[in-house]
Amino acid sequence: MKTWKSKSKISTVALILMLTISAVLVALPITNAQFGPALPPMQIDIPIFLAVTAEPNPVGVNQLVYLHAVFSKPTPTNQGTGGDLHEDVNIEIVDPDGQKTVLGPYTAGMTGAVYSSFTPTQVGEYQIQAIYPGQVLTGQNPDTGARGQNTHMTGSTLLPAESEVVTLVVQEDAVGSNYQSPGLPEEYWTRPIYSTNWAWGEQIGSNWFGLMAPAFMTTGGYDATGNVQPYGEAPNTAHIMW
């Protein structure tokens, strides 16, 4: 009889605990497992700032100039390969004769930056400016279609932005050493491809494969979207290890 009573008490206590836990769970707000409590929709106007750089400056005529348009921050919905990116970014170049060339439109990367280049053909001053028309956030990446974070901000507007005008000085004389990456090796080699041999990466160092296990951060891969670096050529050897 005592054993039956003990089991009955245990069952009663267990039932009470289950009912208590169920009541607590019902009382808790619905949450997002990754981003915390669900937030109410919020549509606001978001100011954003844009800068442009031109390097080298000054530069010699017919030398390559690298251009970067950089936003003050990524879009609020961006998260890795998901969420909005800055779209329709243009870089305007006005040459010494007043002729305008427009590069773009570009879509910025995950960090909010655009890369381009051009070669000036006249001596004098070029005026360079980055232009962004603004956009309404959709919460989705324009390339992958994946959704990002802060989706409650879908419908908010990133306001238009223009960078300050940068003056690029182009002179007759070339600047820098005009360094050229060394040619490919003509013998068997076992050393890594160093940064000074940057052209080798495209010629014989592409199409490499990352294990991606147990995680991208530990073993490496091309980027967060995949395992294989898809550009350029791979070497003809069967195995390369370093």
Reported as a single tens digit per residue, the pLDDT across 28-61 is: 443 333 445 667 888 999 999 999 999 999 999 9
What pLDDT was estimated at residue 176?
80
Q: Give the pLDDT band of residue 194 (cuts 50, 70, 90).
A: confident
Vertex 124, ends 121 and 126: CA angle to 5°?
Answer: 80
Mean pLDDT of the chain: 80
pLDDT at 213: 56
- Cα(112)–Cα(51) distance, rounded to whole angstroms? 11
Q: Which amino acid is at 43?
A: Q
Q: Per-residue pLDDT tens for 97-121?
A: 999 999 999 999 999 999 999 999 9
What mean pLDDT comes out for the span 230-240?
67
CB 141 within 8 A of CB 81: yes
Domains of the chain: 45-171 (2.60.40.730), 185-242 (no CATH)
For residue 41, cis peptide bond before it (omega within 30 degrees of 0)? no
Distance from C-alpha of 118 to C-alpha of 67, rounded to nearest angstrom: 8
How far is residue 136's CA from residue 81's CA, in Å, rounded to a whole number? 18
* Cα-to-chain-centroid distance, residue 67: 17
Question: Does the model's pTM come out above 0.75?
Answer: no
Residue 128 and residue 120: Cα distance in Å, rounded?
12
